[in-house]
């Protein structure tokens, strides 16, 4: 087990994900300053359902982008690996911020293989929405993590994905999600087309009856 200072947020950070943060609370200014000074990592557990959840992602600071006169900071971070909180301390003794003993999954599956059916569903969703998103890079990040923020998952659903160790199972969950929402999106897009036609002159075929 390892000790990590913790920065709970109402979001899910995945391994290899880039995340920009604006630091303004005193407890997190203290946390980030210590991480910068000691060149250590910190953890971002998901704050969900009004409590700190059991899983999160270790991150390291890749850049201090700006430091303001009042001590606020803009930083860039990158996700490293998933952890499970074993002992949560809020706050850490003698500190303003929380922390805890965490266990890392030593067998975390970071496979880059992509289920072709999942890929076809993602393409179908984006065509329906008429949007273009580049989800092919970075190729060193598992596809489930790469696409999770881009297919309409809730925070709860993204958190569930974070707790699953195998890429095959994560992709199965994404397939199930897309199979559920694509018919809904299809009907919404059809409704939008019908609404857009309302009020326009229409040329209709003569009915024979």
List, for residues 41-81, the tens digit of each pLDDT value: 999 999 998 999 999 999 999 999 999 999 999 999 999 99
Q: How many CA atoms lie within 13 A of 209 on its CB side?
A: 3
The model's confidence at residue 208, banded by pLDDT at 50, 70 and 90, is: low
d(CA 134, CA 147): 10
Break the chain down into helix, strand, coil percent, rounded to 5.
Answer: 35, 30, 35
Query: Would you call the peptide bond into 148 cis, given omega within 30 degrees of 0 as the criterion?
Result: no
pTM of the model: 0.86
Residue 207 has pLDDT above 70, yes or no: no
Across the chain, what does the average pLDDT equal?
A: 90
Whether the Cβ atoms of residue 104 and residue 82 lie closer than 8 Å to each other: yes
From residue 14, alpha-carbon distances to 56, 81, 129, 184, 209 in Å are 8, 8, 25, 27, 62
The model's confidence at residue 198, banded by pLDDT at 50, 70 and 90, is: low
d(CA 87, CA 43): 13
d(CA 23, CA 32): 8
The model's confidence at residue 199, banded by pLDDT at 50, 70 and 90, is: low
The model's confidence at residue 108, banded by pLDDT at 50, 70 and 90, is: confident
H or E element in which residue 15 lies: none
pLDDT value for 209: 44
- Measured over the CA atoms of residue 32, residue 16, residue 166 and residue 131, the dihedral's sign is positive
b or e along 191-204 (b: 16 or more beta carbons within 10 Å of the residue's beta carbon)?
eeeeeeeeeeeeee
Q: Tens digit of pLDDT for each residue in 118-168?
A: 999 999 999 998 888 877 766 678 999 999 999 999 999 999 999 999 999
d(CA 56, CA 45): 4
Q: Tens digit of pLDDT for each residue in 164-184?
A: 999 999 999 999 999 999 999
pLDDT value for 205: 54
| Bridge partners, 51 (sequence order) | 48
Say whether 115 sits in a helix, a strand or coil.
coil
């Amino acid at each position: 087990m390892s000790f990590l200072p913790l920065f709970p947020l109402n979001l899910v950070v995945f391994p290899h994900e880039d995340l920009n943060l604006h630091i303004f609370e005193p407890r997190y200014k203290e946390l980030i300053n210590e991480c910068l000074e000691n060149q250590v990592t910190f953890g971002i557990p998901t704050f969900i359902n009004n409590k700190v959840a059991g899983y999160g992602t270790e991150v390291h600071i890749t850049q201090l982008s700006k430091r303001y006169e009042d001590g606020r900071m803009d930083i860039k971070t990158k996700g490293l690996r998933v952890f499970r909180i074993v002992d949560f301390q809020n706050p850490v003794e003698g500190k303003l911020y929380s922390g805890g003993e965490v266990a890392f999954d030593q067998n975390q599956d970071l496979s880059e293989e992509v289920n072709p059916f999942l890929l076809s569903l993602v393409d179908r969703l984006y065509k329906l929405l008429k949007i273009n998103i580049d989800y092919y890079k970075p190729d060193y990040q598992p596809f489930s993590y790469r696409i999770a923020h881009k297919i309409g998952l809730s925070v709860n659903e993204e958190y569930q994905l974070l707790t699953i160790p195998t890429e095959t199972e994560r992709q199965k969950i994404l397939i199930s999600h897309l199979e559920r929402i694509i018919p809904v999106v299809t009907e919404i897009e059809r409704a939008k087309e019908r609404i857009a036609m309302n009020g326009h002159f229409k040329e209709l075929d003569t009915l024979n009856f």
